[in-house]
Structure 1
Amino acid sequence: MEKYLLHIDGERRASSTGEFFESDNPFEGRPWAQIARGNSDDVDRAVTAAHRAMTSGPWAEMTQSHRGLVLTTIADHLAQNAELLACIEVRDNGKLYSEMLGQCQYLPNWFRYYGGLADKIEGTVVPIDKPGYFAYTQKSPVGVVGIITPWNSPLLLLVWKLAPALAAGCSVVIKPSEYTSASTLEFVRLLEEAGLPAGVVNVVTGFGVEVGSPLVDHPLVRKISFTGSDATGRRIGEQASRQFKHVSLELGGKSPNIVFEDADIESAVNGAVSGIFAATGQTCIAGSRLLVQRSIHDEVVEKVVALARSARMGDPMDSQTQVGPVTTRDQFDKVLHYIDVGREDGATLALGGKAATGGDCGNGWFVEPTIYTGVNNASRLAQEEVFGPVLAVIAFDTEEEAVAIANDSRYGLGAGVWTQNMGRAFRVSAAVHSGTVWVNTYRAVSYMMPFGGFKDSGLGRENGIGAVDDYLETKSVWINTGAPVGNPFVMR
C-alpha cells in the first residue's frame, strides 16, 4: 500500500507516535493507503511552523505583488498535474474520474483569480471630521488559519479556502478528512514545488478528536474555516468562540429543486437527475427535494425515473460509468438506513431502494439511485440530510405553496427554480431562503461567485472578491498633524 506522512514546515514527517491508519478505496471496498495518524503534538509543531512562516522568513517579507506571482505560478503547476491529483481523488473518495479531472483542471483558476487580487488589497484614507488629524485604515492577515475539509470533494473545497487565505498573506494548517487525506498531501507537495515557502501550508492528518479539536483550540490559530456537517460545525463554532476566533462554516443542505408547470420539462428532468445523482448525491448542494407542480407531476416523475434508471454504475475510472460508489462504509450504511426511513414515513418507492451488487459494482459500496414520491415535507426523509443518491419528490399546487415548502427546512444552502416565466424566476429567487439559487440550471459554481448558506447551512461566504476579507483584519490609524493636545482636566 501507499504510505503518506504528515507535511510540516516543508518536510514529510512521521507522526509523533509513528502510528498510521488505513484509507479505503470505495470501489474495491478495501484499503489502498496508509496515512500518518497525527495528534496534538503534531498540531503544535505544524501551527508553530505556520506562525513562524507568517512572522519571519520569505513569506512574511514578500510584497503583496510577489505573493500574487507565487499563486499564479502555483496555478500553472497544478494545471500540469491535474491528472495525477484526479487519480488520487478517485482512489480515495470513489467519485467519477471525469468529474474529479474536471475539478482538478478547474482548480488553477482560484489561484489565478486570487493571485491577481493579492495586490489589490488596500486600506483607505478616511476624510475624518476632526481638524488636525490624518486617519487611514490598513488590512493585515488575520493570522494562522486552521482549515478542516470534508471527504466528498477534498481538493475543490480546500482551494476555496486556501487561495484567498494565501492571497491575504496568511499561513495555514490543514486537517483533511481522515477518509480522504492522500490528495491533500500530494497537493501541498506540488504547492512547494511551485515556489510556496516552507511552513506556509502544513498538513496534519488524523481524526477529529486527536487533530481537529487541538487545531481549533491552539492559541496561535486565529481563524477556523470548516466544511462538513452542521453537527460538527456547531461544535467547532462553540469551541472557537471561547477564544473569540474568526470562523467560517460551510455546512449541510436539503436543497429544494422546484419545477413549475411552465418549465422546459426535458431541461428540468436533466437538472433534477444531475442535481441528486451526480457525485452519488454526496454534495452539500444536492437537490435532494424535488418539488413538482401537480399539473406536471406524473410526467416529470416518469421521466426522472426513466433517466435515473438508465444510469450505469461501476468503476469510477471507467469513462462509461455515470454513478460511482458511496465514499465510506459508514456513509453507505447511513444511506441505506435513510432508504428504510422513507418506507417507514409512508412514501412510495418509485426506483431503487437497496444496495447495488454484482456486475460492474465489484466489491464497492454502491447504492441504487433511489426515488421516493408522495413525500411529506415534514418527514425525516425531507428534513434530514441523507448525503447520498436518494431523491424525495413533493407535489405542490401554487407558487406560494412551493416557496413555503422550500423554506420549511432548517437548511438554506442551495435551491433550483425551473420556469420560463422571468417574473416568477425573480420572485421565487428572492423569496427562497437560500445562499444560492440556480434558475434553469443546477450545481454551477465559480471562483468569482460567493457561496455559502442561510440558517443551519453555515456562516460566511467563500469565493468571489469578498472571500479575502474573511482572512483579513482592519486596523484604524490616527495621526495627529497639528491638533492641540489640551489638559485632560480642563473641559472646553
Structure 2
Amino acid sequence: MTQHLKLYINGEWVDSINPQRQEILNPANQEVIAKAPKATKDETEKTIRTAKKTFESGVWSESDPQERSRILLQIADKMRANQEVLVTLEVENNGKTKREAASDVTDAINTFQYYADLLNNPNGQTYEGDDDLQTMIIKEPIGVAGLIVPWNFPLLMSMWKVAPALAAGNSIILKPAGITPMTAVKVFELIDETDLPKGVAHLLMGSGSVVGQTIAESDDVDIVSFTGSTEVGRGIMQAATGNLKKVSLELGGKSPNIIFDDADLRTAVDHALFGIFMGSGQVCSSGSRILVQEGIHDEFVAKFVERAKRIKVGPGNNKDSEMGAIVSEKQMERIVEYIRIGKEEGARIACGGKRIERDGMEKGFFIEPTVFVDVTSDMRIVKEEIFGPVVTIQTFKDETEAIKIANDTVYGLAGAVFSSDQDKAMRIIKKVRAGITWVNTYHLTNVQAPWGGYKQSGIGRSLGTYGLDEYQETKQINVNMDPKPIQWFG
C-alpha cells in the first residue's frame, strides 16, 4: 500500500496546499512506496515564522542543558526501539544493503547519544583581567536552523544535523532530499512522541528550488547547513548573503587513495574496494581515485579487479547482496554517461562498465562495479565527481609525484595512504589537502571527530564538539567586579 506522507509543522502532520505530489520509488524495482507532498513557498515561509516564534519564546532555546540532554536521549531510545523499521525504510527508499542501512541507523542513534552526553560536560571560559574586570565566554543557540540533506545517507546525514542543532537549543527545519524522505518522516513521528516542545522541530518536503531556496534566502533563518553537490552548495551560499546568515557546507569530493609499494597488498586491496564500492560509490568521501606506485601496479590491478568482479550486486533486502541499487534512474544515467565519456577519452575498462539487467534486477537501477585503468589526470572521469561505483587507477613514481597527483583536484574532502612505513605514511597524509584522512584504512570514523573538507569540498565541520559549535554563537560577557566612576572625561 502506497504511503501518503505529510509535512510536520508546529507539532502537527498536515497536507500541503499544493496538490502535486512526488512519487517515492524503491530503486531496486521501481515500485512506488509513497507519495510525498511538495511544500510551497508560502508554507515554507510560514514554517520559518513558526520556528522563529518558538525560538524567541525560549521554551527550548532557554531550557537548561540537562533538559535538552534528557529529550535527546528520548529520541535515541525511540529510534533504538524502531531500529528494524528504520533499516527497512532506508533499504526500500535508498537502495542500499541491509548491512549498510543497519550501520547508518546505529550511527544515527549514537549521534543523539553523543550530543546528549556532551551537554552534560562543563563548557565556557572565564578570564580575570585588569581593573577588576571578569570576562566570561559563553555559547548560545544561533536561532532558526535550516537543514538540507542529500539522498545518499537520508537518515544519517539528517541526524548529523538534527542532533547538534537541537542540542544547541535551536529551532530546526529539516528538508530531506525529494526522493528519499522515508526515514526522516519516521524519525519525526518518533520525535512527536517525545517531550520536545511543539514548534521546535519541523519537516518540509519539496523541491530544492522552492523549499531549499526559500530557507537559504530567508532573513529569519540564522544558519543554513547543506550537504550535497558543490554546484548546489555554491547557490546556497549565494542565496544566504541576504542576511549574511551562517553557512555550513559539506560538498563534493574526488578523493585520492595512495597505495605505496611497501603496503600490505591484501589489506590495501580490501580497503580500497570498501573505499569506492561501499554505498554503490554514492558517498562524498569515496576513494574514487586510486594511486598505485609503479612497481606494484599490475599486481594491485589484477587483485583489485578479481575482487571487484566477485562483488554480489543485488536488491538491498537480499541477505547475500554486497552492493545495492543506484538511488534513481537519473543518477544511474549520469553514471552510465560518465562511463561512456571515460571510454571516449581513451581510458580502458578493466571490469564492469554496464547496467545490470538480469537475475531479477531488470526493473532496478543497478550498475556493475567499474574499474578504469590507463587514465591521465586531465580526463573528466579523473577530475569530476561521478558519484557511483566507478574508480580510476593511476600510477606514480615516488612520494613527490604521489602528492602532486593527489592534490591535483578542486576538492579536498578525504584521502588515504597505505604503507607499512608509518613515518612515511604520516609524512604523506599530512601533505594531502583534505579534511578527512586515513592511514591503512578507509571510511572508518567516529562521531567524536569533525567531518568536513578543504577547498571546494565545503565550509565548516559536522560532528564532534565542532559540530555543536556550528549551531552556536559565541558571546563574551564582561563584568565589573568593583563598580565605581571611571572618570575618563572631565
Task: Please indicate, yes or no, whether the TM-score normalized by the shorter chain is above 0.5.
Answer: yes
Q: Any residues of structure 2 matched to 1:72-471 within 5 Å, and which?
A: 72-120=73-121, 122-129=123-130, 131-471=131-471
1:488 CA displacement: 5.8
Matches of 1:474 and 1:107, distance apart in 2: 27
1:46 CA displacement: 1.8
State the one-letter code of the partner of 2:472.
L
State the one-letter code of the partner of 1:239.
A
Matches of 2:122 and 2:481, distance apart in 1: 26
1:446 CA displacement: 1.4
**1:305–1:350: 8 Å Cα contact kept in structure 2?**
yes
Matches of 2:420 and 2:258, distance apart in 1: 13
Matches of 2:227 and 2:458, distance apart in 1: 9
Matches of 1:72 and 1:461, distance apart in 2: 23
1:386 CA displacement: 0.1
Structure 1, unpaired ranges of 5+: none
Matches of 1:488 and 1:421, distance apart in 2: 65
Matches of 2:104 and 2:7, distance apart in 1: 24
Show CA shifts across 1:320-362 (max 9, x none). 0112111011111100010011111111111111111111313
1:17 CA displacement: 2.3
Secondary structure in structure 2 of the residue aligned to 1:69: helix
Deviates more, 1:219-228 or 1:472-481: 472-481
- Going from structure 1 to structure 2, the CA distance change for 1:263 and 1:61 (only over 3 Å counts) comes to same
Identity of aligned residues (%): 38
Secondary structure in structure 1 of the residue aligned to 2:192: helix
Matches of 2:202 and 2:191, distance apart in 1: 11
**1:313–1:361: 8 Å Cα contact kept in structure 2?**
no
**1:9–1:199: 8 Å Cα contact kept in structure 2?**
yes
Deviates more, 1:195-204 or 1:434-443: 195-204
Secondary structure in structure 1 of the residue aligned to 2:119: helix
Matches of 1:378 and 1:286, distance apart in 2: 20
**Counterpart position of 2:22:** 21
State the one-letter code of the partner of 1:27.
A
**Counterpart position of 1:3:** 4
Show CA shifts across 1:391-425 (max 9, x none). 10101111111111000000111111111100111
State the one-letter code of the partner of 2:73.
T
State the one-letter code of the partner of 2:317.
M
Matches of 2:382 and 2:129, distance apart in 1: 54
Matches of 2:62 and 2:381, distance apart in 1: 53
- Going from structure 1 to structure 2, the CA distance change for 1:10 and 1:324 (only over 3 Å counts) comes to same
**Counterpart position of 1:46:** 47
**1:67–1:167: 8 Å Cα contact kept in structure 2?**
yes
State the one-letter code of the partner of 2:45.
D
State the one-letter code of the partner of 1:385.
E
Matches of 1:343 and 1:415, distance apart in 2: 26
Matches of 1:45 and 1:90, distance apart in 2: 33
1:439 CA displacement: 0.8
1:459 CA displacement: 0.6
The answer to whether structure 1 residue 63 and structure 2 residue 39 are counterparts is: no
Matches of 2:178 and 2:190, distance apart in 1: 20
State the one-letter code of the partner of 2:280.
T
State the one-letter code of the partner of 1:305.
V
Secondary structure in structure 2 of the residue aligned to 1:205: coil
Matches of 1:283 and 1:453, distance apart in 2: 14
Show CA shifts across 1:25-73 (max 9, x none). 1111242210011011121222222223322264245211111111112
- Going from structure 1 to structure 2, the CA distance change for 1:485 and 1:450 (only over 3 Å counts) comes to same
1:132 CA displacement: 3.9
Matches of 1:267 and 1:60, distance apart in 2: 48
- Going from structure 1 to structure 2, the CA distance change for 1:458 and 1:60 (only over 3 Å counts) comes to closer
State the one-letter code of the partner of 2:172.
V
**Counterpart position of 2:37:** 36
Matches of 1:232 and 1:104, distance apart in 2: 27
**2:18–2:37: 8 Å Cα contact kept in structure 1?**
no
Show CA shifts across 1:452-476 (max 9, x none). 0000000111111222111111222
1:181 CA displacement: 1.1
**1:121–1:139: 8 Å Cα contact kept in structure 2?**
no
Show CA shifts across 1:274-306 (max 9, x none). 111111100001111011111000011001111
**1:161–1:225: 8 Å Cα contact kept in structure 2?**
yes
**2:61–2:170: 8 Å Cα contact kept in structure 1?**
no
Show CA shifts across 1:167-193 (max 9, x none). 111110011100101211111111222
User: TM-score scaled to structure 1, two decimals?
Assistant: 0.96
State the one-letter code of the partner of 1:221.
V
Matches of 1:356 and 1:287, distance apart in 2: 23
Secondary structure in structure 1 of the residue aligned to 2:189: helix
| Aligned length, in residue pairs | 489
Matches of 1:275 and 1:20, distance apart in 2: 36
Matches of 1:18 and 1:201, distance apart in 2: 24
Matches of 1:474 and 1:416, distance apart in 2: 34
Deviates more, 1:179-188 or 1:48-57: 48-57
Secondary structure in structure 2 of the residue aligned to 1:151: coil
State the one-letter code of the partner of 1:106.
D
**1:20–1:35: 8 Å Cα contact kept in structure 2?**
yes
State the one-letter code of the partner of 1:245.
K
**1:35–1:182: 8 Å Cα contact kept in structure 2?**
no
Structural RMSD (CA): 1.5
